[in-house]
Amino acid sequence: MRKKYMFAWLFLLPLIFFVSMTGCAKEGSQTTPQEKSVLDKVQSAGILRVGYFIFEPTIMHDKNGKPYGVFVDMVEQIAKDLRWKVEYKQIDLKNFAAALQSGDFDLSIGATFASPNRASGVAFTHPIFYLGYTGIAASDKAARFRTWADLDQSGVRVAVKQGSAIGDYVRRNFTKATIIALEEPALSAPLAAVPGQADVGLMNQVTVHSYLRDNPKANVKEILADQPVEFTGVSWAVRQGDPKWLEFVNTAINYLEDTGRTQEWEKKYKIPYLYHEQRQFQFDSGERKGTITR
């Protein structure tokens, strides 16, 4: 009788061992520690690595090449509150997503228009403010372009920045005009192409405003100031798959806005077109003032 039970146990031992090992393997796969959040890494190192590109008044360079502006003020305040050091790295709009995903930096404050195309590669914060797009033309030709349809005409050369929201807009909507997509890193490149390389240059309202202010002898004029298009939220970005870090950055942005600090910094730089309401804003082209409601 004992021999019978002994043979039964000898038969069951391999099965018990197999089930036991399978369970351990399954349990081990469930408890494998996940990759740390960027928040944990930043807190541990005490260093926040920030990617940026020039976009007045959010980010500019002083005479020594040091970044400053609304977004820099915001980041520096967050870092001060958490006792972090900030390291900056200048990048370009067209490669910020790849650089962010590869870990070149922890946070992109590059004043980026959030779009589905870009969201396929990065995770955006909630919008900090909203902007639309207008353009410029030579002063003696500006009256010709009263509507967006006037731009989409045979023989009209329209300059845009490659990878920009306005570039996507004209590709979707223009069928007759010649589209000149520029790869230069400067946001003002499409504006500098007028007159000469292009008849019309299109860019966001802030860049148009600052370009006209800084180039009073350029003999160009803003067009479509009362008809901005692609009215889109401007956001920061983080790598995808890190909800803890994204939640922290959003909380920090909310705090600075709720306490009025963001608005104070915006006023300091005296640049119009930073709208906190998505559907209603004021415009001031120097000739007309009013309100546009979407």
* pLDDT score recorded for residue 164: 84
Which residue shows structure tokens 């709009």? 93
Query: How high is the pLDDT of residue 289?
Result: 41
Least confident of 43-57, 87-101, 154-168: 87-101
Please report which confidence band the pLDDT of residue 274 belongs to, taking 50, 70 and 90 as the band edges: low
Lowest mean pLDDT among 152-156, 158-162, 205-209, 243-247: 205-209
How does pLDDT run across 153-180, given as a tens digit for each residue?
A: 999 999 999 888 899 899 999 999 999 9
pLDDT of 120 > 50? The answer is: yes
Task: Read off the pLDDT of each residue in 266-281 and give the average, rounded to a whole number.
Answer: 61
Residues in CB range of 87: below 8 A, 6 or more apart: 47, 48, 49, 50, 105
Lowest average pLDDT, out of 21-30, 174-183, 217-226, 262-271, goes to 21-30
Task: Compute the distance between CA of residue 278 and CA of residue 21 in angstroms, rounded to an integer.
Answer: 57
C-alpha separations of 49 from 88, 240, 247 in Å: 6, 16, 17
pLDDT of 123 over the 60 cut: yes
User: Looking at residue 6, what is its pLDDT?
Assistant: 47
Q: What DSSP assignment string belongs to 202-236?
A: EEEHHHHHHHHHH-TTS-EEEE-TT--EEEEEEEE
| Residue of higher predicted confidence among 211 and 31 | 211
| Band (28; pLDDT cuts 50, 70, 90) | very low
Q: Which residues contact 122 (CB under 8 A, 6 or more apart)?
A: 96, 97, 100, 101, 108, 237, 238, 239, 240
Banded model confidence at residue 276, pLDDT cuts 50, 70, 90: low
Question: Which residue ranges form the domains of the chain, and what is each CATH number?
Answer: 38-129+231-293 (3.40.190.10), 133-230 (3.40.190.10)
Give the per-residue pLDDT at 145: 96
For residue 248, which amino acid is it? Answer: F
The residue type at 137 = A
Q: What does the pLDDT read at residue 30?
A: 40
How many CB atoms within 10 Å of residue 51?
A: 23
Lowest mean pLDDT among 75-89, 170-184, 188-202, 204-218: 204-218
Instruction: Give how far Cα 1 sits from Cα of 4, 165, 177, Å.
Output: 5, 84, 96
At residue 34, does pLDDT exceed 70?
no
